[in-house]
Amino acid sequence: MTLDKKIYKKLLEVPKGKITTYGELAKSVNFTNGQRAVGKIMNKNPYPVIIPCHRVVKSDGKVGGYGYGEEIKINMLKKEGVKIKDGKILDWENTVYRF
């Protein structure tokens, strides 16, 4: 299985209302220091409706980029129940999903 398929498959485990980080996602497939590569893989996601790349955020709590724009990413996360203020995830410890 290719790296992107492993990452997409792992991302499917993150439930609505939760987020994970690029680094956590990389570690979950044993890819040390792979957060940038994960970002590039998320950017190429061929099925954004099925594979919820909007649930991947930066480790500093900022929402980060999204192919359709940061505002859309924020709105999608908020609709799923993620609390965000000024582009940052609130209640980090209860919102982050650990693999």
Q: DSSP H helical segments within the chain, as ranges?
A: 3-11, 22-28, 35-43, 70-79, 92-95
Contact residues for 92 (Cβ-Cβ < 8 A; gap 6+): 61
Q: Which residues are catalytic?
A: 53
